[in-house]
Amino acid sequence: MHLEKLTYKIKLVSFLWRMQKTDVCILGGGPGGATAALFLASKGISSVLIDKAKFPRDKICGDALSGKVVSILNKLNPELVNKLSSSSIQVGSFGVKFFAPNLKNIRIPFKKDYPAVGNAPGFISKRIDFDNFLIEQVKLQPLIQLIENTQLKYFKRTNNEWLVGLNENEILFSSKLLVAADGAHSAFAREFGKIEVEHEHYCAGIRAYYKNVSAMDEDNFIELHFLDELLPGYFWIFPLPNGQANVGIGMRSDIVSKRKANLKKLLPEIIEKYPSLKERFKNAELVDDVKGYGLPLGSKKRPISGDGYLLVGDAGSLIDPFTGEGIGNAMLSGMVAAEIALKAKNQNDFSKTLLKEYDEIVYRKLWNELSLSKRLQNLSKHGWLFNFVVNKASRNKTVQETLSCMFNDLDIRSQLRKPSFYFKLLFG
């Protein structure tokens, strides 16, 4: 027994001796983690970025990259947007097509000046390609040490540092700051951030890749179909390069449980049920298995930092509760994490008191949007309301423009808080 303990201690000491010291260790190389590492490097701070996967790797997603993604890439390096928009891994998207439960639709451009020439306001790119695009930028940065194929499972806070490793006998790094960007199933966020899955603030999603779906939009507008049986969730069809389409369903988890819904079964049933969809999928073929994953929604404020750590992206539950957009928010929180890391390093203070500013900045930038989206999610329970708005917008250009601005301009989205907005919508 004594001998066992001694061997363990010797092992631990030898690992501690061999382990590498770093100021910032980033767990997860998705958009949140990769963006944090890239912004850190742009400030001259080195980091270790660790992922369990080897890139390129798939991530179940709708693959739609919003204007927010574009603006963060621009902040990082304007060349990146040109590089992305001229590459074959994406298609540019100019707007969104809303289908109401009565199956009428409206086409809402992302920008008021549509159709304008130049780069599209948003993109759609398979995550296997887009995430690898970011990782390619990471690989160009000497200040980032990228470690793939390494699943971290051991985290211990000791002497104001985090020890991270494969298990308690295999500790790889000691780090002053741990940026947990390990996605929706983050074990770190659960254990140390005390973030639980709350079904009314969580969404279930499935994704299918098809080829030969017909009648896709000529300017790659993404399609959101608010069908009665899915409200407040939706069915989507997003165009992809090479004539493929990302097709899926998202539904809040409490509603999935209440209705005992099986989303994988529902997908072909919906395509079969609606004649317009049936026609469009007549020659369509699945090119991969239908896969599901969780979406932790930002419809509730949670603490997203603590002693020596920051939670980024899905690990911090920052997905927009109405649109399901999480890539932009993951990148935004990664960018803010780098700002705070710089401050903490300069003051050599990685305490929860200093890191709390991360929560303040992230929510200052996102909370208006997240809380309005929560309100929209609640409104979207009512199918009749969708029918009304879509009917109205299809006849009225002002209503169309107002809806269009809602996607780009938060000030206009915040009109939703004012009774006068509804008055204009009703009688405009």
Ligand X SMILES: Cc1cc2nc3c(=O)[nH]c(=O)nc-3n(C[C@H](O)[C@H](O)[C@H](O)COP(=O)(O)OP(=O)(O)OC[C@H]3O[C@@H](n4cnc5c(N)ncnc54)[C@H](O)[C@@H]3O)c2cc1C
Residue whose C-alpha is closest to residue 203's, from 327, 407, 377: 377
- Of positions 37, 47, 51, 121, contacts ligand X by CB under 6 A: 51
Pick from 111, 176, 201, 207: which binds ligand X (CB under 6 A)?
Answer: 207
Cα 42 from Cα 58, distance rounded (Å) = 27
Among candidate residues 168, 167, 130, the one with its CA nearest the CA of residue 29? 130
Chosen residue from 183, 233, 308, 321 binding ligand X by CB under 6 A: 183
Min separation Cβ 331 and ligand X, Å? 8
Nearer to ligand X, 61 or 213 (CB): 61
Closer residue to ligand X, CB minimum distance, 30 or 193: 30
Task: Look at phi and psi of residue 74 and say left if phi exceeds 0, alpha if psi is from -120 to 50, else beta.
Answer: alpha
Q: 101 or 313: whose CB is closer to ligand X?
A: 313
**Minimum distance of ligand X from residue 292's CB (angstroms):** 7
Cis status of the peptide bond prior to 321, with omega within 30 of 0: no
331-352 burial: b if 16+ Cβ within 10 Å, else e: bbbbbbbbbbbbebbeeeebee
Q: Under DSSP, is residue 28 helix (H, G, I), strand (E, B) or coil?
A: coil
Strand 144-147 to 47-50 pairing:
parallel
| Alpha carbon distances (Å) from 70 to 79, 123, 155, 326, 399 | 11, 8, 34, 13, 26
Burial of 56 (C-beta count, 10 Å sphere; 0-12/13-18/19+): middle
Q: Is 60 in the site for ligand X (CB under 6 A)?
A: yes
Judged by CB under 6 A, the residue of 28, 109, 298, 308 near ligand X is: 28
Least distance (Å) between residue 296 CB and ligand X: 8
65 phi and psi angles, rounded to 5 deg: -110, 115
Helices (H) and strands (E) in the chain, counts: 15, 19
- CB distance 357 to 343 below 8 Å: yes
- For 417, residues 6+ apart whose C-beta sits below 8 A from its C-beta are 372
Residue sitting closest to ligand X (CB)? 326
Is residue 313 a contact point for ligand X (CB under 6 A)?
Answer: yes
Judged by CB under 6 A, does residue 40 bind ligand X?
no
Distance of CA 227 to the CA centre of its chain: 23
Q: Which stretch binds ligand X (CB under 6 A): 177-185, 189-197, 281-289, 344-352?
A: 177-185
The Cα 193–Cα 50 span in angstroms is: 19
CB of 298 to ligand X, least distance (A): 10
Q: Is 267 in the site for ligand X (CB under 6 A)?
A: no
Interacting positions 137-156 with ligand X (CB under 6 A): 151-152
Return the range that interacts with ligand X (CB under 6 A); candidates 56-64, 162-170, 193-201, 365-373.
56-64
| Least distance to ligand X, CB of residue 423, Å | 33
Residue appearing with tokens 């080897």: 54
Least separation in angstroms between residue 5's CB and ligand X is 28
Q: What minimum distance in Å lies between the beta carbon of 293 and ligand X?
A: 4
* Part of the chain binding ligand X (CB under 6 A), chosen from 59-67, 210-218, 337-345, 404-412: 59-67
Among the residue ranges 10-18, 134-142, 309-317, 373-381, the one whose residues contact ligand X (CB under 6 A) = 309-317
- List the one residue from 37, 41, 45, 64 that touches ligand X (CB under 6 A): 64
Does 53 help bind ligand X (rule: CB under 6 A)? yes
Q: How far is the CB of 246 from ligand X (least distance, A)?
A: 8
Residues found near ligand X in the complex (CB under 6 A): 27-33, 50-53, 59-64, 151-152, 181-184, 205, 207, 248, 293, 295, 313-315, 319, 324-328, 330
